[in-house]
A = this chain, B = another copy of it.
Amino acid sequence: MSEFSAMNFCSDNVTGVAPEIMQALAEANHGTAWPYGNDDWTRKIEGQLAEIFERKVKAFPVATGTAANSLALATMCPPYGAVFAHEAAHVMVDECGAPEFYSGGAKLIPVAGQHGKLTPDGVAAAIARNRSTDPHQVPLAAISLTNATESGTVYRPDEVRAIAGIAKAEGLRVHMDGARFANAMAFLGVPAKAVTWEAGVDALSFGATKGGAMAAEMVVFFDDRLAESFAYRRMRGGHLVSKMRFVSAQLNAFLADGLWLKLARHANAMAQRLAQGLQRIPGARLAHPVEANELFVVLPAPVIKGLREAGAEFYDWKMTFLATEELNVIRLVTAWDTDPAKVARFLKVAGEVAAQAA
Whether A349 sits at the interface, judged by CB under 8 Å, is no
Interface string of A1-12 (1 = CB under 8 A from B): 101110010110
Whether A79 sits at the interface, judged by CB under 8 Å, is yes
Q: Which one of B62, B96, B100, B238 lies within 8 Å of A135 (CB-CB)?
A: B96
The chain B residue sitting closest to A67, CB to CB, is B238
- If the complex has contacts A16-B30, A229-B80, A242-B215, are A3 and B39 also in contact, measured as CB distance less than 8 A? yes
B238 touches A237 (CB 8 A): yes
Q: How long is the Cα–Cα vector from A108 to B97 in the complex, in angstroms?
A: 10
- If the complex has contacts A16-B31, A32-B4, A241-B64, are A246 and B214 also in contact, measured as CB distance less than 8 A? yes
B101 touches A237 (CB 8 A): yes
Which of A15, A106, A231, A242 has the largest number of chain B CB atoms within 10 A? A242
Chain A 1-44 interface residues, beta-carbon cutoff 8 Å to B: 1, 3-5, 8, 10-11, 13-17, 22, 25-26, 28-36, 39-40
Q: Which one of B14, B22, B80, B93 lies within 8 Å of A29 (CB-CB)?
A: B22
Whether A78 sits at the interface, judged by CB under 8 Å, is yes
User: How many copies are assembled?
Assistant: 4
A232 touches B15 (CB 8 A): no
Question: In angstroms, how far is the closest chain B Cβ from the Cβ of A5?
Answer: 5
B100 touches A105 (CB 8 A): yes
Interface string of A102-115 (1 = CB under 8 A from B): 11111110000000
Return chain B residues, CB-CB under 8 Å to A274.
none
Q: How long is the Cα–Cα vector from A3 to B241 in the complex, in angstroms?
A: 18
Whether A234 sits at the interface, judged by CB under 8 Å, is yes
Whether A344 sits at the interface, judged by CB under 8 Å, is no
Where chain A touches its partner, the secondary structure class is loop
Q: How long is the Cα–Cα vector from A175 to B195 in the complex, in angstroms?
A: 45
Chain A 217-249 interface residues, beta-carbon cutoff 8 Å to B: 229, 231-243, 246-247
Return chain B residues, CB-CB under 8 Å to A107.
97, 100, 108
Q: Which one of B10, B17, B231, B238 lies within 8 Å of A95 (CB-CB)?
A: B238
Which of A11, A32, A103 has the largest number of chain B CB atoms within 10 A? A32
- If the complex has contacts A14-B33, A64-B239, A64-B240, are A79 and B94 also in contact, measured as CB distance less than 8 A? no
| A residues apposed to B, CB below 8 Å | 1, 3-5, 8, 10-11, 13-17, 22, 25-26, 28-36, 39-40, 62-68, 70-71, 78-80, 82, 93-98, 100-108, 135-139, 209-210, 214-215, 229, 231-243, 246-247
12 residue pairs A–B, Cβ–Cβ below 8 Å: A1-B34, A3-B31, A3-B33, A10-B32, A16-B30, A66-B240, A95-B236, A96-B138, A96-B236, A98-B236, A237-B238, A239-B239
